[in-house]
């Protein structure tokens, strides 16, 4: 027997053995396996246990790829997470899964018109179905719907069948977005609104504005807006810069035998605090505008009553001064420093000027060719000139309220003027975009 023949006989079995190996059952996660552990990573506020609960998976249950993916989808639909990925390891008949999550921002929750219950009682109703609820929720998702349904069930349990809706709104007192829950289809009339500060009771401006609240359906948002726009300016104008206003308290009145009384009395604790005078301002980061110019724009002098409304208007005038020079991205950030012994206030103002933009071109949509020609003729800023934001805003006002000054009798038909300033930071130019509808 030759060498080649002996070698062939010696190794003829290798392909057969390999084929046998391929056909043997292996611990591959192709069907299902027993779920032994759920891990999570990437969290900022959640614990691993909480993420595991939100997956809906149960330890020691049989799961496959489909169940693991459905759990990832469930995490996404909850609204708590912007991104969810997962990986798994198999050991014989066991599987261990790890979910990597990226949390979404959460908003504080506000209860708008539930005057018959405390915030604590309402929060507990949500916690009954969402145990780790902490007073915050994402903008949307199944957990927000679950919270709304929990509140509706809570009302039903107490004899009030009503729909509960939720909205993302801006809180007028805190100036932040909140997730607000609201009861639909329920009448609850504000009969009185009273203040702890006697000075407000006799204030003519307050009395004139009370009609905005009294006799209307109760709404915490509406009352907060009233306090922000009608009451706070009264204190601010006098120099009570740190006045404490609210939160408003509900005092139920009417038929005591009525489970959900329709008459709502509102009481607002108010404390004016100390009266402040203006001391000084320190500007930081200003190069394009001189300190003297900024002081003049602000319009405050040492010893003046620290009129909060005048001060707020001053910051806006400073921003306008920068816009006049084409600094469209200028940021003005004031920080107050109070001297409670001397009753004075000083400000340190950080200015980030950005760059001055020059006008490049104008794009007009929704207007006839004749109308476009007249708009270009009325526009006074030439290509290469600094884009004066004040001129731009006055031009918009003319288009909206005094259109004959631009169109000179030409028949034009539009209700609104959409407008944008499209900047090119690299070139330092800006295009004006106008859309007539």
pLDDT digits 0-9 by tens, 117-159: 999 999 999 999 999 899 999 999 999 999 999 999 999 998 8
CA 136, CA 110: separation in Å to the nearest integer? 9
Burial 283-304 (b: 16+ CB within 10 A, else e): beebebbeeeebbebbebeeee
Angle between helices 65-78 and 48-55 (to 10 degrees): 110
pLDDT at 23: 39
Is the separation of the CB atoms in 335 and 350 below 8 Å? yes
First CA to last CA across the chain, in angstroms?
97
pLDDT digits 0-9 by tens, 286-326: 999 999 999 999 999 999 999 999 999 999 999 999 999 99
pLDDT digits 0-9 by tens, 364-419: 999 999 999 999 999 999 999 999 999 999 999 999 999 999 999 899 999 999 99
pLDDT digits 0-9 by tens, 191-230: 999 999 999 988 888 888 888 889 999 999 999 999 998 9
C-alpha 135 chain-centroid distance: 16
Is the separation of the CB atoms in 240 and 272 below 8 Å? yes
DSSP state of 288: S
pLDDT digits 0-9 by tens, 322-345: 999 999 999 999 999 999 999 999
Strand partners of residue 45: none
Please determine, for residue 17, whether its predicted confidence score (pLDDT) is greater than 90. Answer: no
Look at residues 182, 335, 194, 214 and name the one whose alpha carbon lies nearest to residue 267: 194
Look at residues 400, 404, 278 and name the one whose alpha carbon lies nearest to residue 345: 278
User: Cα–Cα–Cα angle for 292, 297, 300, nearest 5°?
Assistant: 85
Q: Catalogue all structural domains in the chain, each as residue range(s) with its CATH number.
A: 33-103 (3.10.20.310), 107-271 (3.10.20.310), 277-352 (3.10.20.310), 358-436 (3.10.20.310)
Evaluated on CA atoms 255, 256, 258, 260, the torsion sign reads: positive
Is the separation of the CB atoms in 181 and 165 below 8 Å? yes
Q: Output the average pLDDT for the chain.
A: 89
Is the separation of the CB atoms in 414 and 436 below 8 Å? yes
Per the model's pLDDT, the better-predicted residue between 424 and 172 turns out to be: 424
CA 399, CA 171: separation in Å to the nearest integer? 33
C-alpha 172 chain-centroid distance: 12
Strand partners of residue 39: 98
Burial (CB count <10 Å: 0-12, 13-18, 19+), residue 43: middle
Is the separation of the CB atoms in 99 and 43 below 8 Å? no
């Amino acid at each position: 027997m030759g060498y080649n023949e002996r070698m062939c006989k010696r190794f003829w079995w290798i392909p057969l053995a390999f084929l046998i190996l391929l056909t043997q059952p292996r611990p591959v996660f192709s069907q299902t396996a027993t779920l032994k552990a759920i891990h999570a990573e990437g969290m900022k506020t959640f614990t691993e246990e909480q993420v595991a609960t939100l997956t809906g998976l149960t330890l020691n249950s049989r799961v496959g790829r489909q169940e693991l993916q459905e759990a990832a989808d469930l995490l996404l639909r909850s609204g708590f997470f912007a991104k969810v990925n997962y990986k798994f390891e198999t050991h014989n008949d066991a599987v261990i899964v790890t979910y990597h999550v990226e949390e979404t921002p959460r908003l504080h929750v506000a209860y708008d018109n539930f005057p018959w219950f405390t915030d604590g009682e309402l929060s507990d109703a949500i916690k009954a179905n969402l145990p780790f609820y902490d007073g915050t929720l994402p903008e949307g998702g199944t957990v927000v719907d679950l919270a709304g349904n929990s509140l509706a069930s809570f009302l039903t349990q107490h004899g009030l069948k009503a729909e509960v809706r939720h909205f993302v709104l801006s809180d007028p007192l805190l100036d932040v977005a909140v997730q607000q829950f609201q009861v639909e289809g329920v009448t609850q009339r504000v009969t009185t609104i009273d203040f702890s500060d006697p000075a407000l009771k006799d204030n003519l401006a307050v009395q004139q504005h009370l009609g905005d609240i009294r006799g209307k359906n109760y709404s915490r948002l509406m009352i907060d807006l009233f306090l922000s726009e009608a009451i706070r300016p009264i204190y601010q104008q006098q120099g009570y810069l740190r006045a404490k206003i609210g939160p408003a308290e509900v005092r139920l009145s009417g038929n005591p035998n009525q489970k959900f009384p329709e008459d709502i009395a509102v009481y607002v604790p108010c404390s004016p605090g100390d009266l402040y005078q203006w001391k000084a301002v320190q500007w930081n980061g200003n190069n394009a505008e001189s300190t003297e110019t900024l002081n003049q724009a602000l319009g405050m002098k040492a010893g003046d009553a620290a009129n909060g409304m005048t001060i707020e208007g001053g910051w806006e005038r400073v921003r306008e001064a920068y816009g006049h020079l084409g600094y469209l991205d200028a940021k003005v950030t004031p920080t107050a420093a109070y001297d409670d012994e001397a009753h004075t206030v000083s400000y340190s103002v950080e200015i980030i000027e950005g760059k001055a933009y020059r006008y490049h071109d104008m794009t007009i949509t929704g207007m006839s060719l004749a109308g476009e020609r007249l708009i270009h003729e009325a526009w006074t800023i030439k290509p290469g000139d600094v884009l004066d934001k004040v001129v731009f805003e006055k031009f918009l006002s003319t288009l909206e309220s005094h259109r004959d000054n631009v169109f000179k009798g030409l028949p034009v038909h539009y209700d609104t003027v959409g407008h944008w300033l499209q900047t090119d930071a690299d070139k330092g130019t800006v295009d004006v975009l106008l859309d007539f509808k």
